[in-house]
Structure 1
Amino acid sequence: MEQARSEGNAIIDSYKEALEKVLADHKEEAIRQSQTRIKAETTNARQQLNQAMAKSQLEIKRQYGKVQLELKDKIFEETKSLLDDYMKTESYMDYLINCIHHAKHFAGEDPVVIYINPSDETKRSDLEDATGIHLTISAEDFIGGVRAVIRARNILIDNSFKTKLRNEYDSFLFLGGDGVA
């Protein structure tokens, strides 16, 4: 009986050890699977977060660009208004005379056609008297200023406000930084 009990206990112990080993292996496998799943879910969550952040940043950049463009347009509307006021001053006449003299000097002996803006037609005779140069009224409205053509050298001297405004508009950037609100 004792031998049978001892053999039975040995069988039970060996079965118990086998079950404990199976349980330990099962636990290790379950832990490994759960860690793999946690890593996969973490990676997926990070990717979703990065995508959401990228979308948000893109939307912010779009809004920022739109606001900058609106501000830029307002600045240049105000600049155009200030330019209209300037064109009513004596300084504008001096500017036109200076541009005409500069164009004539640059042309040298070559014939030059100097155009003034149609809005400056009333100033034509005063400008011709002041410079001694025949002026032509442009068919195109270039806001103000002077354009000169030296056909012998295929040169256009463009001191028109339209061109200067367009060039400034195209190169204008909001730099930000200290002191900029």
Structure 2
Amino acid sequence: MTVDEKITRLQESAMQEARSKGNAIVEQHKKALTHVFDQHKAEALIQADTRIKAEKTSVKQQLGMANSKAALELKRELGAAQKRLKKQLFKEVEEKLSAYMKTEKYQDLLVKYIEKAVAYSDRGEMTIYVNPTDADKKAYLEEKTGFTLSISKEDFIGGIRAVIPERNILVDYAFKGALEREYQKFAFGGGMGSGR
């Protein structure tokens, strides 16, 4: 074998060994980079998953707060509407009551109230008051019941009040107190409160 052939063979052998070592180094480096990439990818996925969960939680909280705020506003509006409707309803009740107080049935009711008050007092000393708006009915009521009546200085809308001084008792068949009690007790159905 000639020197040139030896050199060529040595060169080829050296190149093959260099390629083999180079390929091994590249493969080793490639594995190391792939491992680093896989670790980085896994960490990035964990971070992304954590961020997504945090964003979902944040969105749920914001949605919950918005729902709570909307429900509170709706409840406030419902309460205001119920309050308006309640006032309107009781205004209509007062108008109907006013119309009723112009009927004979109302006069008959006053007679019954006076008779009840007298029966309660066992015909003892008492003062029976009629509302100032019923002053025109005083003579009729006195004739019908046989009792002297007084005109109240206080407007109690309608009905009668009787005072039994010896027993310190007020017999109250006045419409004003009854209306106020009903107004306080009145609540719209549906469980949303009294609308006061």
Same topology, TM > 0.5: yes
Structure 1 residue aligned with 2:22: 8
Q: Give the total of aligned pairs.
A: 177
Which aligned pairs between 1:32-71 and structure 2 lie closer than 5 A? 32-71=46-85
Decide which of 69, 91, 94 is 1:80's aligned counterpart.
94
- 1:34-83 Cα offsets, whole Å, 9 max, x none, are 11111111111111111111111111111111111111111111111111
What is the CA distance between 1:2 and its match in structure 2?
A: 3.7
What is the CA distance between 1:110 and its match in structure 2?
A: 4.1
Decide which of 118, 121, 128 is 2:142's aligned counterpart.
128
| Larger Rg belongs to | 2
The amino acid that maps onto 2:127 is V
Structure 1 residue aligned with 2:41: 27
Structure 1 residue aligned with 2:8: none
Q: Residue 137 in 1 paired to residue 151 in 2?
A: yes
What is the CA distance between 1:84 and its match in structure 2?
A: 0.9
Which aligned pairs between 1:89-100 and structure 2 lie closer than 5 A? 89-100=103-114
Please, what is the CA RMSD of the aligned residues?
1.8
The amino acid that maps onto 1:146 is I
Matches of 1:75 and 1:109, distance apart in 2: 40
The amino acid that maps onto 1:83 is L
Q: Give TM-score scaled by structure 1 length.
A: 0.90
Q: Residue 175 of structure 1: SS of its match in structure 2?
A: coil
Matches of 1:110 and 1:7, distance apart in 2: 130
Q: Residue 73 of structure 1: SS of its match in structure 2?
A: helix
Matches of 1:107 and 1:32, distance apart in 2: 88
Q: Residue 174 in 1 paired to residue 162 in 2?
A: no
- 1:94-151 Cα offsets, whole Å, 9 max, x none, are 1001011111111225432221101111211221121122222111001110112223
Q: Residue 173 of structure 1: SS of its match in structure 2?
A: coil
Structure 2 spans left out of the alignment, 5+ residues: 1-14, 191-196
Q: Residue 56 of structure 1: SS of its match in structure 2?
A: helix
